[in-house]
Amino acid sequence: MAAPFAAPSGLPFPRALLLLLAPALFFRPMAGDPGQGSSTWARFSGLPFPEDALFLHHTFPEGFLWGAGSAAYQVEGAWRQEGKGSSVWDAFAHRRAPGSPSPPSGDVASDSYHHLERDLAALDKLGVSHYRFSLAWARLLPNGTLPANPAALAYYEALLSGLEERGVVPVVTLYHWDLPQRLQEAHGGWENPVLVDLFRDYAEVCFRHFGRRVRYWLTMDSPYLVAWHGYGTGKLAPGLRGGREAAYRVAHNLLKAHAKVWHLYHNHFRPVQGGRVSIALSSHWIKPQHMTENNIKECQKSLEFVLGWFAKPIFIDGDYPQSMKSYLSSALPEFTEAEKKFIRGTADFFALSFGATLSFHLVDPDMVFQQQETLSLRQLLYWISHEYNRPPIFIVENSWFVSGITKTDDSKYMNYMKFFVTDTLKAIRYDGVPVIGYTVWSLMDGFEWLRGYNIRRGLFYVDFESQDKKLMLKSSGIFYQKLIADNGFPLKPEDQPAEGTFPCNFAWGITENFLQTLLDRNFLTQTFIFGMSIRPRSSLK
C-alpha cells in the first residue's frame, strides 16, 4: 500500500482510494436507451476463436483495488452474546422438523467476533487494499430500533480502527440479509413499507458512529435474493412463500429504502465524510440456445428480470424494465413520478456480485427463459457497461467453491479465481470496461447459507470443530497474494510461448477419464483461458 496522505477534509486514506474515487466522483446516470447491452452476444460470437480466449499476460490499471469480503452472519458467531438480538437468519437456521437433528447455523461460524486480531492479521498477510464486511443490524440495534448496543459499537469501531492502522480501506454493507427478527415479527419484515424509514434510521446510526472511517458504503446485498427467495419462494430467510406478488412488493420497498439511505448520506453526511454509496447487485450470465434474434431477446429479458429489476431503476430512469412491466402486468407495483425521480441516480458506482451464490443455484428457472447459463464474467461486465451508460464497476463479490472436506489444497477454487480474474482483465484491456476493484469471496471459510458447512469459499481454512478457529492460508490465498503483489499477470521470461515440433516417433494418446473431462463444458472453456488448446486432428499440419 502507498503511504496515507491527507484528504481535503483532513482525514487520512490510502492513495489507491483516490484513484478509485476519481471516476465515481463524476458518474451520474445519463439518458441512455435501455437495451444497449443486447449487442453483447453478437459481439462476442464474432471474436476470433481460440485467439481471443487465450490467456492474457498483462497487469491491471494503477490504483486497482484488490480485496476480500465477508458477511456478519457467515463469520461473526456470538449470536446471543453481549446484547445481540436475534435475526431472521438466526430464526430460519434454528427451525427443524420434529425429531430431526439441529440444522447448521451461524451461531458460532468462524467466530470472528472473538478473533478480531486474527482476521486483521489475515488481511495483512494477503496484502489486500480493501476489506468488505457487513454490520449486523440485530447486533447494533437488538430490537431493530434505538437504543444502540454499546458492545456492538465498540466491536465495529475496533475493526475499523484496525483496518485504518493497516491502510486497508473498509467497504461496509449495512444489510446483508440478517434483518432483526423483531422487525419481522412486529411488521412483517420487508413486505411492510414502514421498513423503509426504519432502515433509514438504522443507516443514520451507522453513518454517525462509523462514517468518519468509511469511504465506501453498500446499502444492501443482493436484493434479488432477499425479495425472490426470502419472501417469494421461501428458500432463504425469513422463509416466506408469498409467491411472486410478495417478492415484487418486497423489491419495491427495498428500492425505496436504498434510495432513502442514499439521499440521507448525500444530503447530510457526504459533505463532511466524503464517502460513496451504492448497492450490491448480483447477477448470472446467460447465452442463447441459438444465435437467433428471438433467443437473444430472451437472454436480454432474463438479465432484465434479475439484474435489471434493480439496476434499471437506479442507473437509468427510476422505473422497472419494460419487459417486466409488459410480462407481469398487474403483479408488478408502480412507482409514482416523484418516486422515480427519487430513485434514479442513487448509486455512485456499480457494485457487482457474481459467482456461486446466484449462478447455477438460485436463479429461478422461470427467469432463464429456456436459454443457457454460463460463467462468463467478461461478457456480463461488457453488458453492464453498455446497458447502464458505462458506470465505474466495483466487483464486490466473486469466486467459486470447493467441498466442505477440502482443507488447504483448493486447486479447483484457485482455477476458477484465475478464470474470473482473467475475464476481468480482458474486460478492462480488450473491451474498455471501467472496472475499478475486485473482491474475492471470502476472506475465510464460514456458514454458507443454504449449503451450511458443506462447501467452503474462503482464502483461509477454518477448522470449525476447533476451539480457537485458527486460520490456515490455502493454495488460493497464496495465489491471490502473488496476484496482488504483481497487480495481475505480467509477462515473464518463463511465460514466453514455446514453439517447435515433437520427434516423428512421438506417441500421442488419451485416457478415458481425460476424454470424459473434455466433455465438460466448463473445462472446455478453461482449456483456452489457461493457454491450452485442443484441436481436431485434421487441423494439425
| DSSP states along 490-535 | ---GGGSPP-----TT------HHHHHHHTSHHHHHHHHHTT----
Give the C-alpha separation, 316 to 302, whole Å. Answer: 18
Q: Kindly give, in sequence order, each residue whose CB lies less than 8 Å from that of residue 528, ignoring residues fewer than 6 positions away.
A: 49, 50, 53, 54
Encode pLDDT of 107-148 as tens digits. 999 999 999 999 999 999 999 999 999 999 999 999 999 999
Which residue from 237, 283, 282, 279 is spatially nearest to 254, judged by alpha carbons?
279
Residue 520 has what pLDDT? 47
pLDDT tens digits, 14-39? 434 444 444 444 455 555 567 899 99
Contact assessment for residue 300 and residue 331, using Cβ atoms and an 8 Å cutoff: no
Whole-angstrom Cα distance, residue 181 to residue 101?
Answer: 23
Position 33 scores a pLDDT of: 66
In the predicted structure, residue 241 carries a pLDDT above the cut 70: yes
Query: Model confidence over 304-335: pLDDT tens digits?
Result: 999 999 999 999 999 999 999 999 978 999 99
| Block residue for cell numbers 472496472 | 435
Phi first, then psi, for residue 268 (nearest 5°) are -115, -25
- Of the pLDDT bands very low, low, confident and very high (cuts 50, 70, 90), residue 219 is very high
Residue position matching grid coordinates 465438460: 520
Average pLDDT, the chain: 89
What backbone torsions phi and psi does residue 376 show, to the nearest 5 degrees?
-80, 95
Q: What structural domains and CATH numbers belong to the chain?
A: 5-485+515-539 (3.20.20.80)
Instruction: Tell whether omega for the bond before 434 is within 30 degrees of 0, i.e. cis.
Output: no
Helix (H), strand (E) counts: the chain: 21, 16
Amino acid 514: pLDDT:
53
Lowest mean pLDDT among 189-203, 288-302, 490-504: 490-504
Query: What whole-number distance in Å separates Cα of residue 345 and Cα of residue 77?
Result: 36
pLDDT number for residue 362: 87
- Give the residue-averaged pLDDT of 248-266: 98
- Range with lowest mean pLDDT among 99-103, 336-340, 382-386, 498-502: 99-103
pLDDT band at 496 (very low <50, low <70, confident <90, very high): confident
DSSP of 212-265: GG-SEEEEEE-HHHIIIIIIIS-SSTT----HHHHHHHHHHHHHHHHHHHHHHI
- Determine how many CB atoms are found less than 10 A away from the CB of residue 111: 21
List phi, psi (to 5°) of 368: -95, -25
